[in-house]
Amino acid sequence: MRIIKAKDYEDMSKKAANIIASQVIMKPGAVLGLATGSTPIGTYKQLIKKYNNGDLDFSQVTTVNLDEYKGLAKDHDQSYYYFMHQNLFDHINIKPERTFLPDGTQADSDNACADYDRIIAEVGGVDLQLLGIGHNGHIGFNEPGSVFEKDTHCVDLTEKTIQANKRFFASADDVPKQAYTMGIRTIMMARKILLVASGEEKAEIIKEAFFGPVTPAVQASILQLRKHVILVADEAALSQVK
Ligand code: F6R
């Protein structure tokens, strides 16, 4: 594991984008695993900048996202499909047919998840998987306590998550109750993993995940077992690490 310390969010975003860019330069047909959430937005902005400067070409790149809400239409402004188009895909020369997310519109969970695992296998697996981390150590929608040996699967969102997300929807009833997510096994199959973290509020979990025991109680702790993991975090997120 490598830890790269950044000064602040902007610096973290630049450093993470440089790592992704070097992957694409070294392998123009790379398969990138992508994440949503607030942390990678700055990284995506930096990648767009590099593309606009003519320094990066996404025409042969394939992407597979970590997760998607079940039951949201693609054009719903809270779907991860929508997020990825707004924050990255619509601003670079990636081929839309080379961008994949679990299909949240598929009602049959088993089929949706099996289809997604097949897509990941067919594109040849993930070269570089970008991750954020939840305050409880979740990666993707893999919440504390779930078993490590899962491929893409359907999860029930906790009441806490539904309550936290209801501000983005007309009411709590409109918040999706389930999501499709790559499992820990899917994530661990990636050839390289890049986790980004920023801010004081991530400091405790970064210490636990990367320096505490490896346990399903802290899903990200499994990353300690991988050699090719890079943590890019700012000073605030690393403030509890000696
Ligand atoms: C996103 C995802 C989540 C987030 C995590 C951190 O696709 O799967 O695990 O990475 O919740 O979110 P932020 O970056 O908003 O703190």
3 state SS of 173? helix
Of 18, 57, 115, 136, the catalytic one is 136
What span, in angstroms and rounded, lies between the C-alpha atoms of 7 and 39? 15
| Tokens linked to 170 | 């007309």
Residue 149: active-site member: no
Residue 228: active-site member: no
The CA-to-CA distance between both ends of the chain, in Å, stands at 16
Q: What's the CATH number of domain 2-234, 1.10.630.10, 3.50.50.60, 3.40.50.1360, 3.30.420.40?
A: 3.40.50.1360
> Which stretches in the chain have pLDDT values below 70?
none
Q: How far is the CA of 19 from the centre of ligand 1 (A)?
A: 19
Q: What is the model's pTM?
A: 0.97
What span, in angstroms and rounded, lies between the C-alpha atoms of 219 and 146? 8
Tens-digit pLDDT profile for residues 89-138: 999 999 999 999 999 999 999 999 999 999 999 999 999 999 999 999 99
Q: How far is CA 91 from CA 45, 47, 131, 173, 196, in A?
A: 9, 10, 21, 33, 22
Q: Is 110 exposed, middle or buried (0-12, 13-18, 19+ CB in 10 A)?
A: exposed
Q: How far is the CA of 107 from the centre of ligand 1 (A)?
A: 24
Q: How far is the CA of 59 from the centre of ligand 1 (A)?
A: 26
